[in-house]
Homo-oligomer: A and B are copies of this chain.
Amino acid sequence: MQPDPPQPTVLYTLEQTIKAYRRLCQQNIDQVITDLTVDQGLTLMVLSNYPALSQQRLAELVFKDKASITRIIELLVQKGLLARAAHPTDKRKSDLRITDGGRQTLARLSPTIQLNQQTALQGLSAAELAQFDATLRKILANCSPAQP
């Protein structure tokens, strides 16, 4: 028997839900690829969909800090899934390229990503999802700092 949640608000459930979803994603990834985290997989996928992305832009897309991106990329490079080359025009940047191994990993990952989303959202109508998304965006806007 559990006592009532400490914060009886949807925000508590929100936190709980995202954790459960991340756990599900990791478990499903583990079944097709060894030693890859959700964030590494997501980063790889985004790099695949948007080639020639700077780390800065990549960070925005996956909603991460640039310091985090640096480290995630480092791990992907260590695993041979990603390669850094010199950027042709801007020496501050590096040119990130997915390796063959990275492409293979992505191919195996792709069905899992579909599965994760389907699993999480099963039984929800399009209308319900749309309403949910709308509310979520309101909360997001409420939490986002004002843009002067």
Contact = CB atoms under 8 A, between A and B. Distances in A.
Interface stretch (A20-28, A73-81, A82-90, A94-102): A20-28
A25 B94 CA distance: 35
A107 interface: no
Interface residues of A, number: 50
Interface in A36-65: 42, 45-46, 49-50, 60-63
Nearest to A47: B6
Interface in A93-136: 113, 117, 119-124, 128-129, 131-133, 135-136
Given A14-B21, A20-B144, A63-B19, A9 B139 contact: no
Interface of A: 2-3, 5-7, 9-11, 13-21, 23-24, 42, 45-46, 49-50, 60-63, 113, 117, 119-124, 128-129, 131-133, 135-140, 142-144
Given A11-B117, A131-B132, A132-B132, 8 more contacts: A9-B117, A16-B140, A17-B140, A18-B18, A120-B139, A120-B142, A124-B139, A128-B135
